């Protein structure tokens, strides 16, 4: 592998890792509070991309307006999903909530297929945001720089939100203990709504960046990124925001380098993330930065 290709791979892995990190934060926040894999999180990516797609192409909105509308609507959708499909099951067995999450995810995907068609469409890249940069022999898109910066800013914002604000304190309290925090006059439902709002907004931004980087949208586009980002969240230690970020970068780096160094294994690329997941769960179930929790009677 020549230096140029190696640097190119580094650039690719930073982009991919940032995207994974951004989406993984949403997973980890929701999981931290509800102990639920929000399967629908992955499909919010798709919803946001499609709203932006139609906003730009059909309603000929400027890209920033289309993106803003996409983020707002996706956030509302995320809150709505929580209210409709997870809240009624607050005291139900965990398996029921998981099944409900899978149902919502399938519903969104199939509504996408019915309303839009299963054929992939190419996403219009706003020229203001995407241009090529040449440094020596390597060329890369401006997104390679924009995506990590956006990710870092959002990570910082979320960290501040969770650690410094009142609602953030309430989120941490609820994620520790549901009942006690409700006894301490924390409005649990409001906190959960806020968490879903933040998570869904991050998913929407992740989805928009994703479809600019890989400019193709289809109703099932969220499935694999979603699974991998969940894996990234587990790798870093679920419920842990810096951990999700770390997991995202590690996963992105490993994936790109696997294909870069062993092109013969590129067919196994999607399986690789799951192998990592299983290894992590077996040897360090708490994740890299997480703590191991022992269940008490």
State the Cα–Cα distance between residues 12 and 141, nearest whole angstrom.
10
Check residue 120 for interaction with other proteins (CB under 8 A): no
Least distance in angstroms from the C-beta of 223 to other proteins:
8
State the Cα–Cα distance between residues 84 and 87, nearest whole angstrom.
6
Q: Using CB under 8 A, which residues numbered 278 to 297 contact other proteins?
A: 278, 281-282, 285, 295, 297
Check residue 95 for interaction with other proteins (CB under 8 A): yes
Helix ranges, the chain (H): 3-34, 40-57, 63-81, 94-116, 143-164, 166-176, 178-183, 188-213, 223-236, 241-261, 269-283
State the Cα–Cα distance between residues 231 and 244, nearest whole angstrom.
9
Phi, psi (deg, nearest 5) at residue 140: -150, 165
Check residue 197 for interaction with other proteins (CB under 8 A): no
Q: Which of 5, 102, 156, 184 binds other proteins (CB under 8 A)?
A: 102
Q: Using CB under 8 A, which residues numbered 21 to 40 contact other proteins?
A: 35-37
CB 244 within 8 A of CB 27: yes
Complex with other proteins: residue 8 or 195, whichever CB lies closer: 195
Q: Which of 106, 131, 261, 262 binds other proteins (CB under 8 A)?
A: 106
* Chain length of the chain: 297
Dihedral sign (CA 234, 202, 223, 258): negative
Q: Which of 56, 158, 217, 231 binds other proteins (CB under 8 A)?
A: 231
Q: Using CB under 8 A, which residues numbered 72 to 91 contact other proteins?
A: 85, 88-89
Complex with other proteins: residue 245 or 276, whichever CB lies closer: 276
Q: Which stretch binds other proteins (CB under 8 A): 44-52, 110-118, 140-148, 203-211?
A: 110-118
Q: Which stretch binds other proteins (CB under 8 A): 9-17, 53-61, 93-101, 136-144?
A: 93-101
Least distance in angstroms from the C-beta of 254 to other proteins:
15
Complex with other proteins: residue 38 or 144, whichever CB lies closer: 38
DSSP 212-267: HHS-EE-TTTTHHHHHHHHHHHHHH-TT-HHHHHHHHHHHHHHHHHHHHH-GGGGG
Q: Using CB under 8 A, which residues numbered 154 to 193 contact other proteins?
A: none
Q: Which stretch binds other proteins (CB under 8 A): 63-71, 72-80, 187-195, 225-233?
A: 225-233
| Residues contacting 172, CB < 8 A, separation 6+ | 162
For residue 269, count other CB atoms closer than 10 A to its CB: 13
Q: Which stretch binds other proteins (CB under 8 A): 145-153, 154-162, 241-249, 268-276?
A: 268-276
Residues facing residue 178 across a β-bridge: none
State the Cα–Cα distance between residues 221 and 38, nearest whole angstrom.
16
Count residues contacting other proteins (CB under 8 A)?
42
Interface positions with other proteins (CB under 8 A): 35-37, 85, 88-89, 92, 94-96, 98-100, 102-104, 106-107, 110-111, 113-114, 118, 223, 227, 230-231, 234, 267-268, 270-271, 273-275, 277-278, 281-282, 285, 295, 297
């Amino acid at each position: 592998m020549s230096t140029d290709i190696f640097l190119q791979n580094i650039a690719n892995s930073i982009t991919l890792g940032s995207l994974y990190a951004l989406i993984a934060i949403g997973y980890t926040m929701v999981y931290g509070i509800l102990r639920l894999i929000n399967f629908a999180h992955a499909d919010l990516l798709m919803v946001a991309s499609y709203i932006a797609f139609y906003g730009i192409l059909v309603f000929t909105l400027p890209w920033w307006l289309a993106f803003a509308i996409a983020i707002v609507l996706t956030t509302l959708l995320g809150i709505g999903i929580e209210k409709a499909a997870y809240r009624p099951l607050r005291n139900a067995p965990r398996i029921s909530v998981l099944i409900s999450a899978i149902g919502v995810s399938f519903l969104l995907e199939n509504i996408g297929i019915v309303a839009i068609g299963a054929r992939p469409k190419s996403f219009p890249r706003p020229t203001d945001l995407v241009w090529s940069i040449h440094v020596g022999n390597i060329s890369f898109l401006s997104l390679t720089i924009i995506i990590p910066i956006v990710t870092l800013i959002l990570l910082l914002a979320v960290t501040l939100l969770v650690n410094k604000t009142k609602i953030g304190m309430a989120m941490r309290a609820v994620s520790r203990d549901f009942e006690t925090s409700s006894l301490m006059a924390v409005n649990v439902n409001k906190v959960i709504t806020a968490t879903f709002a933040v998570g869904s907004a991050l998913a929407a931004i992740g989805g928009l960046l994703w479809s600019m980087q890989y400019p193709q949208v289809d109703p099932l586009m969220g499935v694999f990124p979603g699974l991998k980002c969940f894996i990234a969240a587990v790798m870093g230690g679920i419920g842990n925001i810096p951990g999700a970020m770390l997991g995202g970068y590690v996963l992105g780096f490993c994936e790109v380098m696997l294909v870069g160094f062993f092109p013969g294994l590129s067919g196994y690329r999607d399986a690789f993330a799951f192998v990592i997941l299983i290894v992590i769960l077996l040897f360090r179930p708490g994740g890299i930065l997480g703590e191991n929790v022992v269940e008490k009677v």
